[in-house]
Structure 1
Amino acid sequence: MKKHVVHIITGLENGGAEGVLFRLCTNDTVYQHSVISLTSEGKFGLLLRQNEVRVITLDMKGMINSLMKLYNLHKALKTLSPDVVQTWMYHADLLGGIIAKLSGVKNINWNVRHSNLSRAHNSLSTILVAKSCAWLSRFIPNSIVCCAEQARITHEALGYDSRKTVVIPNGYDFSERDKTNSISIKKELSLAKSTPLIGMVARYNPQKNHAALLRAFSLIEHDDAHLVLVGPNITEANEELVTLIRSLNISKRVHLLGERTDIPSLMSELDLHVLSSSSGEGFPNVVAEAMASGTPCVVTDVGDASFIVGNLGWVVEPGNEYALSEAIQMALSQKESRPAQWNQRKIDSAQSVRQRFSIEKMILAYHKVWEKS
């Protein structure tokens, strides 16, 4: 009989933590996995079900409703009788950790993803829940999994029990990535094959700082370069985004593609991927995904972005659009003037990520946490 891990997560919408949970559950052949979402099924709930992973949704909404649904969580844990409970993100760490403890579960582990808990970038409720978790970290979890080194530092500074923290970087199934194909994005956009193509895959959110990227792009000397932006709310319907693009006079060279299902193929066609975030990153998946496709990266120094790119990309301070522009210009100039060096950078980027962040390494690291606990 396989040991049973029950994961408790705040929700299963499209996000980094949700994607990691999905890859962990569907690629691990040693443990049996079930997932409890405190809210809705979302994108990944359906995908988990399709991969024969049991999913329970509690549909918590509002204070009174949530308190009533905690009984359902307690009942579910009693029924499932897990060997291990792994919680994901603050609210699930707090509520799931307490209810798991009251349900008699001995092996409880948390998972934290943030690397910045400043009031400027987080709601007061998020900070209060995180501080509550910091105090409870001495009593509830056996281990606290951090997705990035910066996340570990941030949470230990907040008061999380440093004796229990362990860093497990995100892992990726590169075999599946290598099978993906799609129509050429340059052909789709009626661009010549030689057109320098820069991209960023990120939802529209102030922390992603699309404004800094657009201003930086408007400053580069390569007038033939084009920029593609991909992600939720990255469409012509986003008036704020469209207005900024028009004000910078770059409308003809910026393409808003919205959400896509062919991200790996799209990444492989980019000449350069940029992460312009001002904060809020733990382990930025898009950087690893771009490099895995052989696409060099320019990143701001947020979360573990600089750790991921190492000396194979360009790192600039967050919020400095001039430094970001210079880095993009430097990258495009190298591609143009030193093609052999550029091609080697592409090869080294892919090899670096594939060696360090495989799904197999991530799964084994979680096994060690669950076995140690």
Structure 2
Amino acid sequence: MGNSIRHKTDKIRLLLLASALDAGGAERQLVALAKALDKDAFEVTVCLFYERGPLLKDLENQPGIDIFLLNKKGRWDLFSACARLIKEFRRRRIQAVYSFLPGPNIYAIPCARLAGGVKVIWGVRASDKDLNSAGWFARMFYFVEKSLSGFPHLIVSNSQAGAADVIARGFPQAKVEVIHNGIDAARFVKNAQKGRVLREKWGAPEGCTVFGVVASLRPMKGHRYFLEAAQLVSKQEDDVRFVCVGPKPGPARREFEDLAVRLDVAGKVIWAGPHSDMPAVYGALDVLVSSSVEHEGFSNSIGEAMSCSLPCVVTDVGDSALIVGDCGIAVPPRDSEKLARGMLEIRKRIAIEPDLCQKNRSRIQDNFDVSLLADRTAQAVRKVLGKDESR
């Protein structure tokens, strides 16, 4: 980190700015982008407010990527952190900064302007944000970000739904562009062998259909509707299991465990906890279910599952329906009956469409591969810098 800087005049000097590298969707995409950008064309610096997050190790010792830590002392460490960032902009002769999420977006504007000559690209993510459930600090960031939205040279949304949301909030439409998330199809390949091991560990009987949700236990993820759909599916099919991947044991999970008992499906619901080997998880599932009710932009779990040849049943929030296309099934959110019908329908399709699993993987490779994310981002950066090669 903080290695000596050697500049090559023919390379674009790009800084990716984030708070930390926690295991969130935006952070995972920053890491994927940093690794996928053409290092013959870009000098990539990743700048973080805090030395935190499990994804940090994914970038360490990566060729062509330098990591700089601002080491903020807290949320109120404003002026000294800004001064350090301005210094780095100048020392590295940064040409463009691409920031992710409201906090870094807000920081990028004054720092780039004071550094001089640095173009600013904002990254915005989830759609339909409900401020009623947000804390006062998040609400403040939300409104400050909106008030500054005329200053960035480009605003990148990772979904069409997210773009529509920020435009409705008052962001300048002419500056908003959609660049969908990129899925590393080379990494996300179904691991059937490890999947069988997981199924045995979960106690899923051989030959049964395993439906799975991969999500944290937040209200927006709709676990309640997944469990209610599980009850309806179980009334028609006996050889099924329902896996919840992600939620750790604790009070929040116990509420849903109690709900499964009340719905009389506790014997078929598996609480798998967090997993780091996602290709193995997707290898253990037969169907991915995304039961989200709001706030989705581009769901990484849907894209990763499809890359692992997994058909999906999703709620029509964010760009989920667009991602699955005709390879899966989209249903309205907050409707357990329609979600259950979708789960039953995809089960039948798997039985009668032998190429359905491969169609899912091909859809990701053709439309949402990480190489496309890198190419589209590179083109956007060049356009902002007046180096658009397509003109």
- Report the TM-score, using the length of structure 2 for normalisation: 0.88
Q: Which residue of 1 aligns with 2:12?
A: 3
- Aligned-pair CA distance for 1:190: 3.4
Alpha carbons of structure 1 residues 340 and 322: separation in structure 2 relative to 1, 3 Å: closer
1:31 to 29, 42, 51: 42
Which residue in 1 is equivalent to 2:213? Answer: 200
* Residues 1:178 and 1:315: Cα distance change in structure 2 (over 3 Å): closer
- RMSD value over aligned CA atoms? 2.1
1:62 CA displacement: 4.5
- Deviation, 1:226, is 0.5
Match of 1:294 in 2: 309
| Displacement after TM superposition at 1:235 (Å) | 7.0
Aligned to 1:117: 129
SS at match of 1:43: coil
Amino acid of the residue matched to residue 86 of structure 2?
Answer: H
Report the more deviating stretch, 3-12 or 118-127: 118-127
Q: Secondary structure at the match of 1:117?
A: coil
Any idea what the Cα deviations from partners look like across 1:161-181, whole Å, max 9, x if unmatched?
111111000112212223866
Equivalent in the alignment of 1:265: 280
Unaligned runs of 5+ in 2: 1-7, 385-391
Q: In 2, distance between residues paired with 1:114 and 1:127?
A: 15
Q: How many residues align?
A: 368
For residue 181 of structure 2, what is the aligned residue in structure 1?
170
In the alignment, the residues of structure 1 paired with residue 251 and residue 29 of structure 2 have an alpha-carbon distance, to the nearest angstrom, of 30
Tell me: CA distance 1:128–1:22, structure 2 relative to 1, closer, same or farther (3 Å). Answer: same
Structure 2 partner of 1:313: 328
Question: 1:113-139 deviations in whole A, cap 9, x for unaligned?
Answer: 021123345445434423322332222
Say if 1:150 and 1:303, in contact at 8 Å, map to a contact too.
yes
TM-score (norm 1): 0.92
Per-residue deviation at 1:236?
9.2
Letter in 2 for 1:225: V
Give 3-state SS (helix, strand or coil) of 2:208's partner: coil
Q: Where do 4+ consecutive residues of structure 1 move more than 6 Å?
A: none
| Percent identity over paired residues | 25
Which residue in the other structure is 1:132 paired with? 144
Aligned residue number for residue 204 of structure 2: 191
Shift of 1:371: 0.5
1:73 corresponds in structure 2 to: 85
Per-residue deviation, residues 175-226 of structure 1 (Å, max 9, x unmatched): 2223866352222223333111100111111111111111111121222200
Q: Is the 8 A contact 1:45 1:55 kept in 2?
A: no
The residue type equivalent to 1:366 in the other structure is T
Superposition map of 1:328-343 within 5 A: 328-335=343-350, 339-341=351-353, 343=354
User: Matched residues in 2 for 1:38 and 1:322: separation?
Assistant: 44
1:326, distance to aligned residue in structure 2 (A): 1.8
In structure 1, the partner of 2:28 is: 19
On the 8 A contact 1:219/1:325 being kept in 2, the answer is yes
Who is 2:387 aligned against? Answer: none
One-letter identity of the residue aligned with 1:329: L
Amino acid at match of 1:100: A
8 Å CA contact 1:134–1:161 kept in 2: the answer is no
State the shift of 1:23 in Å: 1.0
- Answer yes or no: is 1:94 the counterpart of 2:111: no
Residue 282 of structure 1 corresponds to 297
